[in-house]
Structure 1
Amino acid sequence: MIIFSYHLVELPIATAVKGLFSIPISKKTKGLIHREYMTAMTLGSPIFSTSRFLITEAAIFIQWESEFALNEYLKQDDFGRILAKGWHVRLSFIRDWGAFSGFKIPKQKAKLETVNSPVVAVTIARMKPLEIPRFLHWGRPVEKLVRDHPGTILSLASVRFPNTVSTFSIWKTEVEMTNMVHGHSAVPKPKRHSNAMKERARRNFHFEFTTLRFKPIAEFGTWKGKKDFVPNIEKVNR
């Protein structure tokens, strides 16, 4: 069965810098469908700040032909063993909006038990360079909305130069996430996300863009000394 995985790992500075120029996960990896290797950022942080671009923290989003392929990669590959020392969550696809090259959208879709089940959201886009200032103007308020929302458990942004941007968030419940998307949350300025989406529809920021929603199925390891981010799924501390 096709699965996705999202990895967070702290790297030595030399490894991190090398990763800026050469993705350490080979396209020829057995069982790999697609991977996006990025550098983590703090949602909502000032554009020119040390927290905006966390060079030693990698965020890697991967699609696999099977969970067996992921397990073998983590055990057998040199960089896979590095990833195994970090944190990751395994994901079963629910639905998508938009389109993004490389990933293969599964025909088989998972279902949450209820709207009160935890859910993971990933957005990823290729930016139009001339639209980046406009994107930042509309996007940073949305980053702060997601970062500070009481429904999020873990949230972050990531980037790969020159023009790939992404967000990752774990939500306590699907209903809290959908309320945020549509501007119905009981928080200050709740329509920041819906307003930004209207602006994107008016004039697109991106060459390609997708939002993917997932059911979390297993969580492994620790991140920044913490674990067990996702409630009610299998937890393995490596």
Structure 2
Amino acid sequence: MIHTFHLAEMPATVTARALLRPPSGNTTPGLDHAECLALMRLGAPVVSPDRLQLRRIAVFAQWRDEDAVDQFLTHDALGRHVAAGWHVRLEYLRRWSRLAALPGLPPRAGAWDQDEPVVAVTVARMRLPEVPRFLRWGRPVERQVRDHPGTTLALAAIRPPRTISTFSVWRSVREMEQMVHGRADVPADRRHADAMVERRRRDFHHEFATFRFRPLSEHGSWQGRTGIVPGS
């Protein structure tokens, strides 16, 4: 099993079709599940073109093996568009909560070093009446992650009406965990921790899961950038 996260620019019509009819195991050999989403800019105003960027797609997927990934990127119509962008191949390490679409992932799979790079992915299915409350608590966290010196890339994506995902590449596990838990002596550093307390008080989501991965290999470029994964 392997996971991938892809970023690509493509015609808005292609992105819209992928949002409406994402690839599945029935159409794509070796694919367990894929989330196709339009990019957002972290921290963007609620009413803004940056909140739904149909010319920029994110794809988070679980595959049987790397050969299935290669076949998708080479032979699938959507895959060929995605192949022109950037992606990282990932080794699953840990999850918090779970998604019904990915039922087989254990809570933890392996160990890690505090100083190694790490990739974090969240996927949430929103409760629509809770969206205003989620934005009030979530946008400060978006800015915290976006501006954190420990991230080399941080972004969010959406598939209307209710699926939201975040993706971040961190220089080290230590820096990511410090952000997640916050420092009590620096109030601004507690934005993520405080939002998690509020979520436990009254959940924003029908489903919410955070996944931790070890980056295995990086491919292509994103907005002229390569070497997004530290040490790649």
Q: Considering the TM-score relative to the shorter chain, is it more than 0.5?
A: yes
What code does the residue aligned with 1:126 have? Answer: R
SS of match in other structure, 1:147 = helix
| Cross-structure match for 1:160 | 159
| Cross-structure match for 2:20 | 21
Identity %: 46
Q: Encode CA deviations 1:132-189: one digit per residue, 9 max, x unaligned.
A: 1000000000000000001010000000011001100000010000000000399770
Q: Distance in 1 between matches of 2:9 and 2:132?
A: 29
* Ranges in structure 2 where 5+ consecutive residues have no aligned partner: none
| Cross-structure match for 2:230 | 231
Q: Encode CA deviations 1:23-45: one digit per residue, 9 max, x unaligned.
A: 2x243111111110100000011
Q: Distance in 2 between matches of 1:44 and 1:202?
A: 23
**Equivalent runs, 1:105-144 vs 2, <5 Å:** 105-107=104-106, 109-112=109-112, 114-144=113-143
What code does the residue aligned with 1:86 have? Answer: G
| Cross-structure match for 2:198 | 199
Cα separation, partners in 2 of 1:218 and 1:12, compared to 1, 3 Å: same
**Equivalent runs, 1:1-238 vs 2, <5 Å:** 2-23=1-22, 25-28=23-26, 29-107=28-106, 109-112=109-112, 114-184=113-183, 189-233=188-232
Does structure 2 retain, via aligned residues, the 8 Å contact 1:176–1:185?
Answer: no
SS of match in other structure, 1:55 = strand
| Cross-structure match for 1:236 | none
TM-score, normalised to structure 1's length? 0.92
Q: Distance in 1 between matches of 2:185 and 2:104?
A: 33
Deviation >6 Å, runs of 4+:
185-188
Does structure 2 retain, via aligned residues, the 8 Å contact 1:110–1:215?
Answer: no
Q: Distance in 1 between matches of 2:25 and 2:228?
A: 30
Question: Residue 18 of structure 1: CA displacement?
Answer: 2.9
SS of match in other structure, 1:51 = helix
Mean CA deviation greater in 98-107 or 63-72: 98-107
SS of match in other structure, 2:45 = coil
Q: Distance in 1 between matches of 2:71 and 2:167?
A: 25
SS of match in other structure, 2:188 = coil
* Ranges in structure 1 where 5+ consecutive residues have no aligned partner: 234-238
Q: Distance in 2 between matches of 1:111 and 1:85?
A: 33
- Aligned CA-pair RMSD: 1.7
Q: Encode CA deviations 1:167-216: one digit per residue, 9 max, x unaligned.
A: 00000010000000000399770000000000000000000110000000
Q: Distance in 2 between matches of 1:137 and 1:99?
A: 24
Does structure 2 retain, via aligned residues, the 8 Å contact 1:37–1:60?
Answer: yes
Does structure 1 retain, via aligned residues, the 8 Å contact 2:24–2:33?
Answer: no
SS of match in other structure, 1:115 = coil
TM-score, normalised to structure 2's length? 0.94
What code does the residue aligned with 2:54 have? Answer: I
